[in-house]
Structure 1
């Protein structure tokens, strides 16, 4: 038998483990208030316009009913109470959704109380109908209403109504039906709802939600290498690099496709030592430009611009031109250095020196990055922190408000916590995207300490089961702190699904990414179905990371082979439907075919700004090689429908219209249109 545990104990000479009870839980216990990150250690996240579900578990002994409300304080200090409704039966969970519009720090508490009116109303109804304690229940009710009528915080009109209702409950000569009707009087119920008859109140501790600008959570990203836009090959085999001026010519086309963020890989000088050649070879040619991520050379480091691209003035002009067409420029922040970086000679302590006297280059066994030295953040933490902060603020001063951070999981978490907090303290609109393809705990840890967005495992989630699990978790389990950016491809990632799925695979992945989450992105060349991989690697052959890659966009458009019109349509649908600009509102439905994914995105009319619900149904054929036909089965209650009822759907891709109900036949041809994106209209 186990021994009893004393109130405090010691193990050898260890620090005593105190078992002293925590502070009082309160008369009405309130547990697990959400949204919350690690019990309130870091603020929960939201973006302006996001609909945030608040919740808490609350209960009391016995059968008396309780009420629960959210006390929500906006950044200006105004507090508003929102009544919370019971969640799933038997869970004692209470919930309410609130749309947070104002940027800044919001604070909330949950208040639970004995709901004296609801308890009396329930007991009185049961007993009076059963003929038990009839006059006693009317007397208890009358006293309750009379006491509420003395509350001077209630409007005079409500107080008069309460007095009159109490008088009727006391009137033993009144018609029984009239007295009983007090329990159902809509005005009395409204009075009790506006200001509950509360007793024995308890309040939770305070939690914080940080609301950031909309772009922190909503956006369509497009990535291109400015050196490729306008690049020309000369007769002697050398290249004339594209520049910011030539790359600016591509901006209107990117904006016309509906993208609103343009992400640039590093634009800094590139090292010569151990420069990589085409396809990541170790034997570069005379004219090979090298990887932009091998940062630093004779022309400078992280605060410099590659001379081939232009000057600082040219970059500022490029950012301004992008803004004119509706694009924000996101800049790569890659904290690493080529062997030629000024840091190597000026601050050797910022790197790791091996026993043989050499500096350690970057590795991800079996991958080797001989052209890159990783930064050591422990030898001189204050020095490297000051330098990185200086660099970030330099680019902020030139108009950059978004940074895509390369491999943040290879740097200390406490460094990022400090940097992001320091930057956002003075520039709260600056957004950091974590390119963190790493273990779940580390990926999520980066989001918890402040990254506004994150790359995710979406790229490798291709089956129906995988997608439902991944997208469901992103909308629920991690939504309080992690905002997924669903990039469909990158210069490093060309999945087997895209390699062998052809045009259909490219349409399917883009459609799911663009509709399942409020932020998604593509890397240039996606619209041209660039799907040939380097042997033995999960990336494009002749990777743009190591060579110039000018593309003939006009020829593809003229030939009708470009996916540009499809990407444009997806972004148009996103802008027209606010339900697609929310993260937490996805619901999965059923199909009889394990290759048919079905989900809906619904936004209640309270939050759309149009006075009407916004609902979209996405039905995707995940098999890019076949025609699939099956039945799909819908739970209409998640988008305001009635089981068994009919509703109208319009396919926003083809324009086709149908009348649907709970179960519906679908036929999706991978070789024409593999995805239905259906706008739902519930019939009156």
Structure 2
């Protein structure tokens, strides 16, 4: 798989990722009788903030009609009424495009709500029915078949990805939203789906929308092999995410160097999707503190890949994920209806400037998207990596120092320091 297959308009994308239901303060459960709430305007009010950050893409969490948290889909073809309606969504996409920003949607295609009409029909009509053949089944406690649930979540029923009807359903869903202007997709729980399924779906979708970008959520496994078989353009680089925060937290830069070695190999065949935060994990500032979070941002934006910035990380927001019902709430908070309504926060303002400086540095060195990162000095608490591209003059140094009172990172070129988290 060649990295250059990524559509040109998105080859140098920096995405600003938000979880719409939490971001807009939507109720935790969907009331079937309630009218559309038209909350997507609150996302539009933050687009200029994202653009001032330097992002040129908006990555949206689930927008399909769902029962609760967005990943228990009830209707793939409708906007969740807690967020608005199709007109609201189309307006948001238009406003993104007017600002030169691409739009990515969350493709929740591994599972559906147990209350989805398809799941209801399958339970009623049985595994051998048309609906039943689209659902994955397990043996129930009494020996009879029961719909398979996703990772122990009883409200989520898995689809049968060997079914041609499921391939058709997912392709139709993607084509529907692409026709509304969606430019890219994050395939939720792609690690739980056979890679060959994505290849079948994407072959069809790309027939109509050849420039669509497709990213798979993959946590473990052979990233390069999954990309090759699935024909996905990229997968989420959880190895690098974990190494960044863990190395800062434990003051062990050997772990980060090992991850960079792996990362360099991935970059030989595809461009990984890189991040230091998302809607499923503890905020980076809660993991490693404010100065550690600045170091993490410098590492993210000075290394190869397609970066994603989780909304609020650029403002030094905190939040701890907990393993309990509602345990994601702290990392998926409601945002004010406009940036100016954010309470004054000197630390947040400073973090925003740091992100802007690092994104600006990345824009001035676009070759960073494919850059290799090789250690030149390496100890537990101090390291210098050479970050280099394939062209003449494409060379920077990334220095990380964890030995002082606060973590610190600098980016340098032959002329001196370009960025310093201590400033």
TM-score (norm 1): 0.52
- Counterparts in 2 of 1:265 and 1:232: CA distance versus 1, 3 Å: closer
SS at match of 2:329: coil
- After superposition, residues 430-469 of structure 1 pair within 5 angstroms as 430-438=212-220, 440-441=221-222, 443-449=223-229, 450-456=231-237, 457-462=239-244, 463=247, 464-469=253-258
Q: Which has the higher contact order (CA 8 A, sep 6+)?
A: 2
Work out whether 1:410 is the aligned partner of 2:192. yes
Q: Deviations over 1:569-606 (max 9, x none)?
A: 1111111123323x144332115x42123122334666
**Which residue in 1 is equivalent to 2:30?**
none
Cα distance in 2 for residues equivalent to 1:596 and 1:313: 52
Work out whether 1:221 is the aligned partner of 2:9. no
**Which residue in 1 is equivalent to 2:384?**
598
Work out whether 1:376 is the aligned partner of 2:160. yes
Cα distance in 2 for residues equivalent to 1:605 and 1:444: 24
Cα distance in 1 for residues equivalent to 2:22 and 2:319: 19
SS at match of 2:400: strand
8 Å contact from structure 2 (residues 291, 408) kept in 1: no
- Counterparts in 2 of 1:294 and 1:484: CA distance versus 1, 3 Å: same
8 Å contact from structure 2 (residues 26, 82) kept in 1: no
Q: Deviations over 1:634-678 (max 9, x none)?
A: xxxxx9xxxxxxx95332235xxxxxxxxxxxxxxx8x35xxxxx
Work out whether 1:250 is the aligned partner of 2:46. yes
Deviation at 1:337, TM superposition (A): 0.6
Cα distance in 1 for residues equivalent to 2:414 and 2:240: 31
* Greater helix proportion: 2
- After superposition, residues 179-578 of structure 1 pair within 5 angstroms as 211-215=5-9, 217-231=11-25, 243-271=39-67, 290-296=68-74, 301-335=75-109, 336-346=111-121, 347-353=131-137, 354-355=139-140, 356-363=144-151, 368-378=152-162, 381-438=163-220, 440-441=221-222, 443-449=223-229, 450-456=231-237, 457-462=239-244, 463=247, 464-475=253-264, 477-494=265-282, 498-535=285-322, 542-543=329-330, 549-551=334-336, 553-554=339-340, 558-562=344-348, 563-578=351-366
- After superposition, residues 631-670 of structure 1 pair within 5 angstroms as 648-653=414-419
Q: Deviations over 1:32-71 (max 9, x none)?
A: xxxxxxxxxxxx3032xxxxxxxxxxxxxxxxxxxxxxxx
Deviation at 1:488, TM superposition (A): 0.7
- What value does the CA root-mean-square deviation take over the aligned residues? 3.1
Cα distance in 2 for residues equivalent to 1:307 and 1:536: 28
Cα distance in 2 for residues equivalent to 1:398 and 1:556: 31
- Counterparts in 2 of 1:557 and 1:352: CA distance versus 1, 3 Å: same
Structure 2 unaligned blocks of 5 or more: 28-33, 122-130, 248-252
8 Å contact from structure 1 (residues 223, 523) kept in 2: yes
Cα distance in 2 for residues equivalent to 1:541 and 1:228: 10
Deviation at 1:531, TM superposition (A): 3.3
**How many residue pairs were aligned?**
389
Q: Deviations over 1:267-295 (max 9, x none)?
A: 11112xxxxxxxxxxxxxxxxxx211111
- Counterparts in 2 of 1:424 and 1:574: CA distance versus 1, 3 Å: same
Deviation at 1:394, TM superposition (A): 0.7
TM-score (norm 2): 0.82
- Counterparts in 2 of 1:244 and 1:536: CA distance versus 1, 3 Å: closer
8 Å contact from structure 1 (residues 579, 615) kept in 2: no
Deviation at 1:444, TM superposition (A): 3.0
